[in-house]
């Protein structure tokens, strides 16, 4: 009986300790730069998702199709995480479009992309997505330098690492087309 009480106490202590850490679900110690990062990255990621959703109907290149799918799979959960942080922080939600976001495509750029197909679309999409990713990397670097929240800074580093790798992949695809 004493062994079960000891194990139960250890489990309870571990749960309390882990619960108090916050982790990615309940970030604490944020600052205005963390809020700005989240408020700008959400619409930036939404635009990347919109661009990725154009690919299946306009490209036949399996590598471009696969990349677009991976972008969707990575950025959709990040959007939900960022939105959750904004709610937890009591900050205003992100807006659909925020002027001044680095790498964002203009409405005219997106209209041009929507009218292209095949190899022309692939080249245009890859070029625009490289520019888009570079903007996200800039925002993430600002978060690393100026943000305070450990979870937000960890996400910023993850964005930098993933999007630099995708830029290299896209540059390689552009040389093949």
- Give the end-to-end CA distance of the chain in Å, rounded to a whole number: 70
Residue 3 has pLDDT above 60, yes or no: no
Q: How many CA atoms lie within 13 A of 2 on its CB side?
A: 0
Count Cβ atoms within 10 A of the Cβ of residue 129 and give its class: 0-12 exposed, 13-18 middle, 19 or more buried.
Answer: buried
Range of lowest pLDDT (1-5, 34-38, 155-159): 1-5
Residue 130 has pLDDT above 60, yes or no: yes
The crossing angle, in degrees rounded to 10, of helices 118-146 and 62-89 is 30
What rounded mean pLDDT belongs to the chain?
A: 84
Per-residue pLDDT reduced to its tens digit, 73-121 = 999 999 999 999 999 999 988 875 555 566 778 888 889 999 999 999 9
Query: What count of other Cβ atoms lies within 10 Å of the Cβ of residue 121?
Result: 21
Per-residue pLDDT reduced to its tens digit, 35-71 = 999 999 999 999 999 999 999 999 999 999 999 999 9
Residue 20's pLDDT is 39
């Amino acid at each position: 009986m004493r062994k079960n009480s000891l194990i139960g106490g250890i489990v309870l202590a571990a749960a309390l300790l882990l619960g108090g850490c916050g982790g990615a679900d309940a970030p604490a110690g944020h600052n205005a730069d963390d809020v700005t990062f989240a408020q700008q990255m959400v619409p930036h990621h939404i635009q990347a998702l919109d661009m990725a959703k154009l690919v299946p109907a306009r490209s036949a290149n399996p590598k471009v199709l696969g990349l677009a799918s991976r972008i969707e799979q990575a950025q959709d959960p990040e959007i939900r995480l960022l939105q959750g942080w904004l709610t937890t922080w009591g900050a205003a939600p992100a807006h659909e479009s925020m002027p001044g976001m680095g790498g964002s495509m203009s409405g005219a750029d997106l209209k041009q992309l929507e009218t292209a197909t095949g190899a022309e679309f692939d080249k245009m999409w890859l070029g625009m997505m490289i520019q888009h990713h570079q903007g996200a990397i800039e925002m993430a670097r600002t978060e690393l330098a100026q943000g305070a929240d450990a979870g937000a800074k960890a996400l910023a580093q993850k964005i930098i690492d993933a999007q630099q790798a995708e830029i290299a992949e896209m540059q390689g695809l552009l040389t093949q087309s």
